[in-house]
Amino acid sequence: MAKVTFATDVCKGCGLCVDACPKQLIVLSNDKINKKGHSPAEITDQSKCIGCAFCATMCPDCVIKVER
Amino acid sequence: MAVVFEKTKALTDAPLHYCPGCTHGIIHRLVAEAIDELGVLGKTIGVAPVGCSVMAYNYFACDMVEAAHGRAPAVATGLKRALPENVIFTYQGDGDLASIGMAETVHAATRNENITVIFVNNAIYGMTGGQMAPTSLPGQVTQTSPYGRDVKTVGFPIRVSEMLSALDGPEYIERVAVNNVKNVKAAKKAIKKAFENQINGKGFSLIEVVSSCPTNWGMTPKKALEWIDTNMIPYYPLGVYKDRSAVKEEK
Nearest CA distance, A17 vs chain B (angstrom): 10
Question: Has residue B118 been placed in a domain?
Answer: yes
What's the CATH code of the domain at B212? 3.40.50.970
Tell me if chain B has a CB within 8 Å of the CB of A27.
Answer: no
Cα B61 from chain centroid? 18
Tens digit of each residue's pLDDT (9 = 90 or more) over A35-59: 999 999 999 999 999 999 999 999 9
Inside any domain, residue B170: yes
Residue B93 belongs to domain spanning: 24-250
Say whether pLDDT at B245 is over 90. no
Q: Which residues of B30-49 are buried (b: 16+ CB within 10 A; e: fewer)?
A: bbbbbbbebebbeebbbbbb
Handedness of CA B231, B179, B109, B82 (dihedral sign): positive
A62 interfaces chain B, CB cutoff of 8 Å: yes
Structure confidence by residue, pLDDT tens digits, B93-103 = 999 999 999 99
Give, to the nearest 10 degrees, the angle between helix B72-82 and helix B102-110. 40
pLDDT in tens, B176-207: 999 999 999 999 999 999 999 999 999 999 99
A2 has a chain B CB within 8 A of its CB: yes
Instruction: Look at chain B and report how many structural domains it folds into.
Output: 1
On whether any CB of chain A is under 8 Å from the CB of B58, the answer is no
Read off the pLDDT band of A7 (50, 70, 90). Answer: very high
Residue B16 included in any domain: no
Closest CA to A49 of A23, A30, A27: A23
B41 assigned to some structural domain = yes
- Residue B6 domain flag: no
State the CB neighbour count (10 A cutoff) for residue B247.
Answer: 9
- Our count of domains for chain A comes to 1
Q: Which residue of A has its CA nearest to B23?
A: A60
The CATH code of the domain that includes A24 is 3.30.70.20
* Residue B156 maps to a domain: yes
Residue A1: what pLDDT? 79
What are the residues whose beta carbons fall under 8 Å from the beta carbon of B146, sequence distance 6 or more?
A: none
CB contact under 8 A, A67 and B3: yes
- Give the pLDDT band (50/70/90) at residue B248: confident
**Whole-prediction pTM:** 0.95
Give the dihedral sign, CA B9/B12/B14/B15: negative
**Dihedral, B53, B59, B60, B66 alpha carbons, nearest 10:** 50
| Residues of chain B contacting A67 with CB distance shorter than 8 Å | 1-4
Closest CA relative to residue B125, chosen from B222, B201, B52:
B52
Tell how far CA B117 is from the center of its chain. Answer: 6
Q: What is the pLDDT of residues B117-172, one digit of tens each?
A: 999 999 999 999 999 999 999 999 999 999 999 999 999 999 999 999 999 999 99
Residues recorded for chain B: 251
Domain that holds residue A45: 3-67
